[in-house]
């Protein structure tokens, strides 16, 4: 999930300076969350994905990322890096936190319970949010909120060139691409490999590092 700012541009004077931050999976979801909360009487989702107002007029089709209102639109824009680690920790569904310091770089991976066997996750590098999502499903062999599940999640966020096809990175932001090419990301990959490989001579060191950094 990502942090979005929803604003209005149009003729409605009461929304002249309107803006509201919301956490959502997409621009469309962000706009719908806000619009439905302030204009519930004018919000009628249809089976085909469109939205109509109380008079039956279509104010968004299934593909729109905005909602029409009084000569203007409610739109959403992603706020990169605004969501804070403390906000995740304070969440009622907080699951776990992996705090690491790699060559002076702060790495914080925090998770919250999504429901079922899924976790929402937030990876911060020096307090800047790099990755977030709600689609991580740990292996049923491990505790959902345990250390192993969090280390394996971190591994999926440390993918580098050569590990996968180039298309894997096509939706990465500039910050995410820079992260994937960083020495810290490469070093983390090595530590995670040593953590997984119990026969590695460096396994005890990696195990100690991740164990010390993990909180529930």
SS3 148: helix
Mean pLDDT rounded to a whole number for the chain: 90
Residue 106 has pLDDT above 90, yes or no: yes
pLDDT bin (cut points 50, 70, 90) of residue 110 is very high
Q: Clarify whether residues 180 and 100 are in a common domain.
A: yes
Phi first, then psi: what are they for 82, rounded to 5°?
-85, -35
Point out the domain boundary residue: 78, 111, 135. Answer: 78
Residue 132 — pLDDT band, cuts 50, 70, 90? confident
Long-range contacts of 208-215 (CB under 8 A, 24+ apart): 209/100, 210/98, 210/100, 210/147, 210/151, 211/147, 213/98, 213/99, 213/100, 214/96, 214/97, 214/98, 214/99, 214/147, 214/150, 215/96, 215/97, 215/98, 215/99
**Domain boundary at 51, 78, 105, which?**
78
Asked if 18 and 105 sit in the same domain, the reply is no
**What is the pLDDT, as a whole number, of residue 168?**
86
pLDDT at 1 over 70: no
Structural domain including 7 reads 2-78
55 shares its domain with 122: no
Listed residues 60, 78, 96: the one ending a domain: 78
What is residue 43's three-state secondary structure? coil
145 and 95 within one domain = yes
Domains in the chain: how many in total? 2
């Amino acid at each position: 999930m990502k942090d979005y700012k929803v604003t209005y541009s149009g003729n409605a004077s009461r929304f002249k300076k309107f803006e509201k931050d919301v956490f959502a999976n997409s621009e469309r979801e962000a706009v719908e969350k806000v619009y439905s909360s302030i204009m519930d009487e004018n919000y009628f989702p249809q089976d085909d994905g469109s939205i109509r107002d109380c008079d039956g007029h279509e104010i968004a089709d299934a593909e729109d990322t905005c909602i029409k209102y009084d000569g203007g639109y409610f739109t959403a824009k992603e706020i990169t890096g605004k969501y804070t680690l403390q906000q995740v920790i304070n969440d009622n569904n907080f699951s776990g936190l992996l705090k690491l310091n790699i060559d002076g770089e702060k790495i914080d991976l925090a998770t919250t319970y999504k429901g079922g066997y899924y976790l929402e996750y937030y990876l911060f590098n020096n307090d800047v949010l790099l990755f977030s999502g709600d689609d991580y499903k740990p292996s049923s062999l491990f505790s959902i909120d345990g250390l192993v599940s969090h280390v394996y999640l971190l591994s999926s966020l440390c993918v580098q060139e050569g590990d996968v096809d180039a298309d894997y990175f096509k939706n990465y932001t500039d910050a995410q691409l820079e992260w994937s090419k960083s020495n810290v990301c490469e070093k983390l990959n090595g530590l995670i490999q040593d953590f997984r490989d119990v026969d590695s001579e460096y396994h005890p060191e990696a195990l100690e590092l991740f164990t010390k950094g993990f909180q529930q």
